[in-house]
Amino acid sequence: MEGFSWESMIEDKFTIDDIDINAVAKFKSLAIERIPLINTENDTLKLIDRLQLITDNKFKKAAVLLFAKDTQRFYLQARIRIGKFLSASDIQTSDIIEGNIFEQVFKTLDVLKTKYLLSTISYEGIVRKETLEYPYEALREAILNAIIHREYFTTSEIQIRVFNDKLVILNEAKLPKEITVDNLKESHPSKPYNKLIAEIFYKAGLIESWGRGTQRIVEECEKANLPIPKFEYKDGTFYVIFFKRDSENVNVTVNVTVNVTENVTENREILIIKLITDNEYITTSEIAKKLNVVRRTISRDIENLKAKGILTRVGIKGGYWKINKKGARE
């Protein structure tokens, strides 16, 4: 029950003088679309009460996490630690991200982008484009997920471990009994651990809807042609593991004719053609497994190839694929 959740408990030592007016102003600017008249509320105490962060004229712990001038004075563990690892035990450099949990989202993304991750530079005409090695939106969703669902009463911090070939975000959390890690890649019920915090982040426009964050992580990585992130839950800790592009898939040589490539614009579609050329009886599930994406993505790509007139399915159960324009050179 929410009334007994840690975030909804009273923090007796926290007063109106501990509120960061700039944090409140930042929230108001973010929430204007979902709370249209919020800018007319100039009484900070009334606003925080309206957000259900006050009980009997006392502030809840969620208010401290969201709007405190010095959140770590009350809860030292409410911070994010980032580390660059050369191996599982050999750390090269680290940073600690503090401040209220609104600040932590933006600070963490900025530190990752400027210090820990590489960006590829390209140009669209004269416009310079930077592409982060892991999709920015996917990282943002994973960080938001960790902040919203973590157990703040424990002494642990959110950790982000950056390796040469992967990036791991982990936090102590409780996964609802009715949800498994496999469910997280598909549509699943919304069960935010910290409902008050989740509601404030929703009103601020930082999350689109409850229960969609993990799906967006998968979708953003698929769009970037990266492997599907791995979700793990063990010993009370939730892990999101991002992987760099699979070198085996990247190095696949696909020799397709001009007749085919002129209608195939996505790298994954080209890989599908290659796999079907090698084995016309390959199943959609087998293709998904080889390309490390979910089955529905491959089904969508195949429908695109059919619509372009490149691919035809001959038969149903026990059938095979036919490439209408020769897809590979001998």
For 191-223, the pLDDT digits (tens) are: 788 999 999 999 999 987 666 788 889 999 988
3-state secondary structure at position 45: helix
Ordered by start, the domain boundaries in the chain are 1-245, 248-323
Between 143 and 301, name the one with better pLDDT.
Answer: 143
pLDDT (tens digit per residue) in 270-309 = 888 888 888 888 888 888 888 878 888 888 888 988 888 8
Res. 319: pLDDT tops 70: yes
List the one residue out of 184, 185, 210 whose CA is nearest residue 197.
Answer: 210
Q: Which amino acid is at 194?
A: N
Average pLDDT over residues 123-141: 85
Check residue 309 and give its pLDDT. Answer: 87
Helices within the chain (DSSP H only)? 21-31, 44-50, 61-67, 71-74, 101-111, 136-149, 195-203, 213-223, 247-250, 258-261, 267-278, 284-291, 295-307
Give CA–CA dist 253/264, Å, rounded: 15
pLDDT tier for residue 153 given thresholds of 50, 70 and 90: very high
End-to-end CA distance of the chain: 65
Q: Which of 92-96, 110-114, 282-286 has the lowest mean pLDDT?
A: 282-286
pLDDT confidence of 266, banded at 50, 70, 90?
low
Residue 180 is predicted with a pLDDT of: 74
14: pLDDT confidence band, cut at 50, 70 and 90?
very high
Among all chains, which residue has been given the structure tokens 């002129």? Answer: 262
* 211: exposed, middle or buried (Cβ count in 10 Å: 0-12, 13-18, 19+): middle
pLDDT of residue 285: 87
Res 135: pLDDT: 94
- Residue among 208, 220, 206 nearest 132 (CA): 220
- Domain 248-323 CATH (choose: 3.40.50.510, 2.40.280.10, 3.40.50.720, 1.10.10.10): 1.10.10.10
Spatial distance between the Cα atoms of 327 and 69, rounded to a whole number of angstroms: 62
- CATH number of the structural domain 1-245: 3.30.565.60
Question: Does residue 147 contact residue 108 with C-beta atoms inside 8 Å?
Answer: no
C-alpha to C-alpha distance for 82 and 111, rounded to whole angstroms: 9
Per-residue pLDDT for 243 more than 90? yes
User: Residue 182 above 80 pLDDT?
Assistant: no
